[in-house]
Amino acid sequence: MYLPIALRGHRLFNGAEKWFRSVMKLHNRHEDVSLEVWDDLTNKDFCNLRRFNSIYIGGGNTWSLMKEITENDFKEPLRVYIEGGGIYYGGSAGAIICGSNIDIQSDENLVNWRDTNGMDLLNGLSVACHVTEEKFNMLENMARKKNLHLLALAETAGAIIDGVSYRCVGNGICREI
């Protein structure tokens, strides 16, 4: 299942499904994988989620994504899915919401969402994406000031998280602060 709702209001939203299908085709997964795209979380619960082998929540506006997930009571179904062993891939905003605090990114808060709590699925870690060497120093200062424990990820890096541990994959920054 692909959930592009972090792109709602952005010019890329209408083409999100086409883009995701092109990525699947690029990896030769377009014929053997069935894809469902949700752009509305109304009345979605764990029963709706458990039929999927994996869930991808991509990038966009983190504030908007967290607001929509929270207001549609989707945090708990998603948590149960992930903690029950479901495969979840979060790209950018989709990764940031898994952390304990979402106020570590530079997205403009266009939806006036004041709650900085993420889903806290990473044992107290917050996630910072698109991190460069230059941005890393700024994040270190921010983490100290806000008393946050961060996992900093470069554009070309990621982390595979399994319960309480993770391992870095890809290239570039993948470090705890």
Considering the domain boundaries, does residue 35 fall inside one?
yes
**Bridge partners of 161?**
166
pLDDT score recorded for residue 105: 86
Amino acid (one-letter) located at 82: I
pLDDT score recorded for residue 29: 84
Cβ burial 18-33 (10 Å sphere, 16+ → b, else e): eebbeebeeeeeeeee
What is the distance between the terminal CA atoms of the chain, rounded to a whole angstrom?
Answer: 32
Structure tokens at 97: 């919401």
133-171 pLDDT, tens digit each: 999 999 999 999 989 999 999 999 999 988 778 999 999
Assess contact for 66 and 87: CB atoms under 8 A.
no
Considering the domain boundaries, does residue 102 fall inside one?
no
72-106 pLDDT, tens digit each: 999 999 999 999 999 999 999 999 999 999 998 88
Considering the domain boundaries, does residue 86 fall inside one?
yes
Per the structure, how many domains does the chain have? Answer: 1
* Residue 64's CATH number: 3.40.50.880
Considering the domain boundaries, does residue 136 fall inside one?
no
Pairing outcome for strands 149-153 and 174-176: antiparallel
- The helices-and-strands tally (H runs, E runs) of the chain is 6, 8
Considering the domain boundaries, does residue 66 fall inside one?
yes
Considering the domain boundaries, does residue 156 fall inside one?
no
Considering the domain boundaries, does residue 131 fall inside one?
no
pLDDT score recorded for residue 31: 83
- What is the residue range of 18's domain? 1-94
35-59 pLDDT, tens digit each: 999 999 999 999 999 999 999 999 9
pLDDT at 32 over 90: no
- The SS3 of residue 167 is strand
- The SS3 of residue 161 is strand
pLDDT score recorded for residue 106: 87
120-132 pLDDT, tens digit each: 998 899 999 999 9
pLDDT score recorded for residue 16: 94
pLDDT score recorded for residue 153: 96
Within 10 Å of residue 12's Cβ, how many Cβ atoms? 12
Assess contact for 110 and 63: CB atoms under 8 A.
yes
pTM summary value: 0.93
Considering the domain boundaries, does residue 158 fall inside one?
no
